[in-house]
Structure 1
Amino acid sequence: MRLGGSVRPVHIGVFAAVLALLGGLLFSWPGRAGAAADPVISKGKAATASSTEGSSYAAGKAFDGSTSTRWASEEGKDPQWLRVDLGASNNVSRVKLSWESAYAKAYRLEVSADGTTWTKLASETAGNGGTDDWTGLSGKGRYVRMYGTARGTSYGYSLFEMEVYGTPDGGTTPTPTPTPTPSPSPSTSQPAGAFTVVAAGDIAAQCTASDSSCAHPKTAKLAQQINPKFYITMGDNQYDDARLQDFKNYYDKTWGAFKSKTRPVPGNHETYDPAGSLSGYKSYFGSIAYPQGKSYYSYDEGNWHFLALDSNAFDQSAQIDWLKADLAANSKKCIAAYFHHPLYSSGGHGNDPVSKPVWKILYGAKADVILNGHDHHYERFAPQDPEGKAVADGIVEIVGGMGGAEPYPIEQIQPNSEKRISGDYGVLKMDFTDSGYSWTYVGTDNKVKDTSPKYSCH
């Protein structure tokens, strides 16, 4: 079918209904039987892309025949493209695109003999995601690509599968010229200084894996599977009073499996220990939580300077003076801070002004990202200043309090809040490079619940 002089995609839901209504007679129409019979010729073939979100989302994932893997481009930039090398010249009759939630609103399907000069097969200007099945195409070439010109969301472009159908044309296969592919160029290696961190707050309720509703064994299993460089906890590691015995009975049996790679901070529940404020926390973690003899500390990884702060003591001049001196001595380009109480939150606890003086110091030092817990939900904010004004050079705040404690509902959505999830336990998978960072929020079902934009360091 052609509309406005160009082939249009057949969306699967409508297509299936028409087939059911006509009893399959559609494929008896002239010109359709051949297209329907052509085999998939792209599965397992070499693929490249303008960019990738990370090594887990490489271009080849869209041609592996699995709907559980996907290609994803970097976020927030147009255009982006995905290309497959069919290995020889083919007659292309059909292309099927299975979009993830990050879909293209506008894109072109193109074919090329040499990977340099492209001919349009079809185009879309009002895409709405799902599955686009382009049939009745007529093109010849070795290379086929999806060239996205407008994103349908604020993220990037992501395809579970891109299936190209056709038959060999019997002609000679031209040798690709070494002319560079139009910008942006393919991403084929890990960015400089790349490392991964898993982060979560509000973790170990007083329950064990024998209780199917107990969440922290599940988040611990997920965190261990990711196998990051190290782990960050944003306070309230052990409920309800953070006694040493409770740490041993609950936290230690799950998140304790990777205690040596954990860099924690305390939350308000750590202050409730009847044996003394932070007593159980300090006894359990020891020098891991007090590497510099205090409940707050800093360390470096790659081009990043990390600040692990105790927000229970933000009213004490000793920590504030230490923070100012630490930042003054920092030589790293990128700065991340984490502590328990968020300055901004749409959850039950809401905004906590105790963190505002520290935000002002961090903002003045051009800090990039702050991780918090306290409210038992996931939330990310656009860059903002300490007054809550959206600014390009602002700090990105993430609330990651879904490590295992009972979820809190979203109550009052704050300005600059971009995404909120309550009820799905999970962890933050933070991906850092020498010049920036991004993250995904991964649920205990191993599914990505949210993907951040990619940010550059200030």
Structure 2
Amino acid sequence: MYPNRSVLPHPTRRHTVGMVIAAVLLLVISLLLAYPDRAGAAADPLLSRGKPATASSSEDSALGPQNAFDGDPATRWASAEGKDPQWISVDLGAAADITRVALTWEDAYAKAYRIEVSGDGTTWTRLAEETAGNGGTDDWPTVSGKGRYVRVQGTARGTAYGYSLYEVEVYGTSEGTPPETGAFTVVAAGDIAAQCTASDSDCAHPRTAALAQQINPKFYLTMGDNQYDDARISDYRAYYDKTWGAFKNKTRPVPGNHETYDPAGPLVGYKTYFGAIAYPQGKSYYSFDEGNWHFIALDSNSFDQSAQIDWLKADLAKNSKACIATFFHHPLYSSGGHGNDPVSRPVWKILYGAKADLVLNGHDHHYERFAPQNPDGKATADGLTEIIGGMGGAEPYPIENVQPNSQKRISGEYGVLKLDFTDSGYSWNYVGTDGKNKDTSPKYTCH
């Protein structure tokens, strides 16, 4: 009857009122006869409404994947135009027995697509497949599969545009919200030790160090300019070591531009102070794993050197973790005094291509978070989330030129980033030295 279709269950379609009535009657009768044990499946609850969604691309920030799960028939997700394949995925929050999936296409529909389910967001199993789609509404009422993630993978466009869905509805029975696994906390800051001590009431880095130590994370990250002004080894020992040095053995640092000003040579004081902690692989850049996360420490002073770029590409190619975070000094985007730094763009392009999740920076002495964006500054659900955490102790910089996709900016209040990681996502708080949360991020799911 359907020579071009998979042997998996076929969708039902709506075209005219008369056809709808006839189709519904035939469907009910056929289901009762052919699937008597599934007669109650239509009563299974809708699981996908309002759940976190990601996509391979979005045409623009107003057409993000969350629109396909908001229950509003006027909003939609749209992929980039003219490219195959494209996908949209939803995290149901827990493993579920999937019994039905309904899709409502905009004019830019899929001629061919698969509906897939996954337990971990990495390995996918096919629930249904269409090879002769013609848009409208596709209802797959008798699918059967188990998993936490459901994805619609478009493989052939029905138009010259992209793929666009008003709604994706996933029905079934959930096992409930599972406990977070692989959870750990990290404290991060950049631009830390001014040449002052706790005896000076205006000295901030003793207070940020006390806060960081009180949080007691799995480990600490620094985003460069760890020691002012010239990062000499004598200054590291006189200032940084008296505060943030208390947990040096749990710290994963990177250098900033001030580390290059050392009269003894670029990074000499930095390398002498941190030793193998900062050079575990013999270079000023390195990587390590924790839980389901791969962390990459980069030296943005030498982004123009092919050795580091080649290493980064090879490191990402070998990575087996689902989530990727990187930290370095110079931000590609910033609303502060230094502003955007294009030296980081080539690295962003590599990270974006590897579906990295999070970028931590310093350099500008303020706190700022951005919505996920691509290397060209276009908001997109599969983009990198950038945080500037340059309030570790250096004199604050004012906000000067607010950048697109900047969601929150704080200047003048010293503090640290308290980042919470799980096997599948992350979130954070910016905590002031008074112990109070100054900003709380959304919860993000790894790409």
* Band the TM-score falls in, shorter-chain normalisation: 0.5 to 0.7
- The reply on whether 1:323 has 2:312 as its aligned counterpart is yes
Q: What is the SS of the residue equivalent to 1:354?
A: helix
Residues in 1 aligned to 2:292 and 2:219: alpha-carbon distance in whole angstroms: 15
Output aligned runs, 1:346-425, within 5 Å.
346-425=335-414
Corresponding letter in the other structure for 2:210: K
> How far has the Cα of 1:78 moved from its partner?
9.3
The aligned residue for residue 238 of structure 1 is: 227
Write the distance in 2 (CA, Å) between the matches of 1:389 and 1:346: 16
Work out the CA distance in 2 between the residues paired with 1:414 and 1:186.
40
Could you say what the CA RMSD is over the residues aligned between the two structures, in angstroms?
A: 2.1
- The yes-or-no answer on 1:265 pairing with 2:254 is yes
2:332 aligned with 1:343, yes or no? yes
1:135-174 deviation line (CA, Å, top 9, x unaligned): xxxxxxxxxxxxxxxxxxxxxxxxxxxxxxxxxxxxxxxx
2:434 & 2:340 partners in 1: Cα distance?
30
Distance 2:384 2:257 in 1: 24
TM-score normalised by structure 1 residue count: 0.60
* 1:265 partner SS: coil
C-alpha deviations, 1:112-135, integer Å up to 9, x for none?
xxxxxxxxxxxxxxxxxxxxxxxx
Alpha-carbon separation, structure 2, partners of 1:331 and 1:278: 31
Aligned pair count? Answer: 281
- 1:277 matched to 2:266? The reply is yes
Partner of 2:282: 293
The alpha-carbon deviation at position 316 of structure 1 amounts to 0.2
- 1:304 equivalent in structure 2: 293
Letter aligned with residue 375 of structure 1? D
Change in Cα spacing, 1:185 to 1:206, as seen in structure 2 (3 Å) is farther
Instruction: Tell me, yes or no, if structure 1 residue 256 matches structure 2 residue 245.
Output: yes
Q: Which amino acid aligns with 2:393?
A: G
1:333 aligns with 2:322: yes
Can you list the C-alpha shifts for 1:285-332, whole angstroms capped at 9, x where unaligned? 000000000000000000000000000000000000000000001010
Cα gap change, 1:391 to 1:274, in 2 (>3 Å)? same
Q: Secondary structure at the match of 1:450?
A: strand
Structure 1 residues not aligned, in runs of 5+ = 1-75, 80-182
Q: Which residue number corresponds to residue 148 of structure 1?
A: none
Q: TM-score, normalised by structure 2?
A: 0.61
Specify the SS of the correspondent of 1:223: helix
Give the drift of 1:416. Answer: 0.1
CA, structure 1 residues 194+272, in 2 after alignment: closer, same or farther (shift >3 Å)? same
Q: 1:11 aligns to what?
A: none
User: Partners in 2 of 1:209 and 1:78 — Cα distance?
Assistant: 51
CA distance in 2, matches of 1:382, 1:185: 31
Q: CA deviation at 1:185?
A: 9.0
1:45-93 deviations in Å (ceiling 9; x for gaps): xxxxxxxxxxxxxxxxxxxxxxxxxxxxxxx9999xxxxxxxxxxxxxx
| Separation in 2, partners of 1:392, 1:267 | 29
- For the residue of structure 2 that corresponds to 1:337, the secondary structure is strand
* 3-state SS, counterpart of residue 253 of structure 2: strand
Equivalences for 1:436-455 in 2 at 5 Å? 436-455=425-444
**Which whole-Å CA distance do the structure 1 matches of 2:435 and 2:213 have between them?**
12
Whether 2:188 is the aligned partner of 1:199: answer yes
2-structure distance, mates of 1:211, 1:327 = 44
CA distance 1:416–1:279, shift in 2 (3 Å): same
CA apart distance, 1:212:
0.7
Q: Secondary structure at the match of 2:235?
A: helix
Instruction: Identify the residue that residue 62 of structure 2 maps to in structure 1.
Output: none
Deviation at 1:280, TM superposition (A): 0.2
Rounded Cα–Cα distance in structure 1 between residues aligned with 2:70 and 2:268: 52
Letter in 2 for 1:297: Y
Separation (CA, whole Å) in 2 of partners of 1:222 and 1:334: 27
Query: For residue 70 of structure 1, what is the aligned residue in structure 2?
Result: none
Alignment-mate amino acid for residue 273 of structure 1: D
Structure 2 distance, partners of 1:337, 1:364, is 14
1:33 equivalent in structure 2: none
Which residue of structure 1 aligns with residue 127 of structure 2? none
Deviation at 1:186, TM superposition (A): 7.7
User: What's the % identity of the aligned pairs?
Assistant: 82
